Structure 1
Amino acid sequence: MESTPVKLYVDDGSQPSRACMIFCEMNNIPYEKVETRLVKGDNRKEEFLKINPLGQVPAMKHGEFCLREGHAIMKYLHASFDCADHWYPACIKKRAKVDELLDWYHSVLRQGAAPVVFKTVFSKFFGMKFPEDEIKMHHKILKLSLKNIENIFLTDDFLAGPEICIADLTFYNEILQLKYVEYDLSKYPKLLAWCDRMAAIPEVQKITKVILSFIKAFLDKPKAKI
């Protein structure tokens, strides 16, 4: 097992950032949280761009090795710190199912959830306005995504079986942001039960505390600055 501490460059408002931090917390991986606030432009500073020239979070530095993209970071940490198999199984078929979830997340779920929240809530703070047809398209993708999670992916307690995997962390944090728009999930009972299981995990509670507090304040005061 590796003993060198990991530096995680993260923003609490970033879904993949939270997933990486929860993964470290749940696997007792020593890490240093390096606050990289996107709204303050920390991701555009020269020091950060040396870690990730793309200027995105999360990013990781482990010794002299730098890595970007949340899924790649969690896979690397899983191998480096000898984490439990269920997170990213050694069995080629079980691992392929997790990879399938991670690929689907990027191509479908994230294409619905993230734009719905940004284009209906946050865009106005940046003086941006998007066509209604475009927003409706993202809502359609989101609705299909949630329906597929409910009817296809959630056949057990977690997305890839009876035990949690890295995809659960990614999916949960993506869906969590829907609280910004008070999205109605009542049509998806299995999804809601899964959300409850995820929310009950102490490490999830620890890492999502900041964003949940922010969302509450945001909903209480819709005109508050972000």
Structure 2
Amino acid sequence: MTATLKIFVDHLSQPARALSLLCRAINAPHHEKHIQLLKGKDASNARGKEAEVAVGGEHLRKPFTDINPFKKIPVVQDGDIVLLESCAGLRFIASKYDASGVWYPGKVEVRSKVDEYLDWQHLNTRAHGMGYFRNKVLMPSLKKCEPDMAVVREHEKELQRVERQFARYFLGPTPFITGDQVTIGDLLAACEFEQPLAGGYNLSPPIREFITRVKEKVGPDYDEVHTYMRQLAKKCLA
């Protein structure tokens, strides 16, 4: 089967990792096009103007901006279909390529719970997980400055709330968001929680156990896809 599906990713990005892992988990024929958010720079060694260049990566320049004028990753392209939003991309790939119907369930009552998390996470898991990582790890390293700990602590406080709400409402007594089956909602949630974890945030036991369950469902690709982000965080914090 000739692969028409392309995903434009950088594994520094949480939703980009989720897209890569979904494609691998369901054996979707696809091509991964890696777009360097940091322009190939070593973020831990960038200084002054170099730091400004480092954050001005390939997503801000042609030819990528011809594909996505919003200058964001990830992007999903399949023939004439181009999707610039990560959750739309996850839904599309799971709907078209997952023959099992597990990752984005067809039953509307079940699917609605996945959609509910995908809508909720933007201003919760995403906002504060990446907010913590960006302000604690990435920008201080790029700018060679101390982190603004007031901002870091605010994201930390909000992450604690997010953890409680995710564990109590979205999981409850079940292993995954919809019950016993892993879905794209769980995959994205795990990738989002990995970001502050790599930055030194102490995730609560229920969230760590949840990540372990997702990892077991995905297999060895899970750690492989997270390697770059984890190594970069370790280098920035050194």
Q: Could you tell me the TM-score, scaled by structure 1's length?
A: 0.86
| Alpha-carbon separation, structure 2, partners of 1:4 and 1:220 | 36
**1:82-137 Cα shifts (integer Å, max 9, x gaps):** 53323222222211111111111112111211101100111113327775433322
**1:139-189 Cα shifts (integer Å, max 9, x gaps):** 12111001112222222111221101110111000111123222222xx33
Counterpart AA for 2:137: V
Q: Is the contact between residue 113 and residue 177 of structure 2 (CA under 8 Å) also seen in structure 1?
A: no
**1:17-63 Cα shifts (integer Å, max 9, x gaps):** 01011111111111101010100011122111111111111102111
| Alpha-carbon separation, structure 1, partners of 2:141 and 2:192 | 21
Residue equivalent to 1:79: 95
| Alpha-carbon separation, structure 2, partners of 1:69 and 1:208 | 24
Q: Does 1:54 align with 2:76?
A: no
Residue equivalent to 1:212: 227
Say if 1:55 and 1:111 are closer, same or farther in 2 by CA, change over 3 A: same
Q: Does 1:142 align with 2:155?
A: no
Say if 1:114 and 1:67 are closer, same or farther in 2 by CA, change over 3 A: same
How large is the RMSD of aligned CA atoms in angstroms? 2.3
Q: Is the contact between residue 137 and residue 236 of structure 2 (CA under 8 Å) also seen in structure 1?
A: no
Matched residue pairs, number?
A: 219
Greater shift, 209-218 or 47-56, is seen at: 209-218
Say if 1:179 and 1:93 are closer, same or farther in 2 by CA, change over 3 A: same
Residue equivalent to 1:89: 105
**1:1-25 Cα shifts (integer Å, max 9, x gaps):** x964211100011110010111111
Q: Does 1:106 align with 2:122?
A: yes
Counterpart AA for 2:193: I
Q: Is the contact between residue 121 and residue 180 of structure 1 (CA under 8 Å) also seen in structure 2?
A: no
Residue equivalent to 2:37: 38
Identity across aligned pairs (percent)?
A: 25
Counterpart AA for 1:158: F
Q: Does 1:165 align with 2:183?
A: yes
| Alpha-carbon separation, structure 2, partners of 1:123 and 1:217 | 12
